[in-house]
Amino acid sequence: MNVELYERMWMWGASALLLLFVGAIFVTAGVYAIHPPSHVETVDPEALATSPEFGNPAVTVQPDGSVVVTVVASLFSFSPDPIEVPADRPVTFRLTSADVLHGFQIVGTNGNAMVVPGYVSQFTMTFHEPGEYLIVCNEYCGLMHHGMLGKLIVRKESK
């Protein structure tokens, strides 16, 4: 196919740019293990009350010192609320919904996950800045969707 020189240059340039973008994503994913929350696990949304983990959603400290937060989202609140976690320690959020789709977004951070009934969403992050963070539901869930808010408190641990 006969293609003009300038157009060939443009196409090579565009290819290089796109390869750079994809390359950056592969490096951050492969080398630094930065992924979107992609946990695969199912749970019965009608049996959450009797589930050992989601029956009483709470913040727990594991034997290795890491922190696990289980959260149940339901129309129109998060439980537990507020969530209190220590600063500078890996915190793993495990989330599910008791009813419809919800979102779980910790404003001002990269914490952002869809919460789907029947499934467990999971992501891990470390908070370095102590203080109060706003949690919002960012997936439309019904008439009071905009009022579905929560609070995350990050405390500096006394040594």
Q: Closest distance between other proteins and the C-beta of residue 133, in Å?
A: 10
Q: Closest distance between other proteins and the C-beta of residue 89, in Å?
A: 20
Beta-bridge partners for 42: 119
59 or 100: whose CB is closer to other proteins? 100
Q: Closest distance between other proteins and the C-beta of residue 56, in Å?
A: 20
Residue 84 per-residue DSSP state: E
Interface residue list for other proteins (CB under 8 A): 1-4, 6-7, 10-11, 14-15, 18, 21-22, 25-26, 28-29, 34-46, 75-76, 99-101, 103, 105, 107-108, 110-114, 116-122, 134, 136-147, 149
Contact indicator for 154, 86 with CB cutoff of 8 Å: yes
E strand or H helix that includes residue 25: helix 5-30
The two three-digit tokens of residue 79, written as one number? 């439980």
Task: Please tell me the distance from the alpha carbon of residue 110 to that of residue 115, in angstroms, as a whole number.
Answer: 16
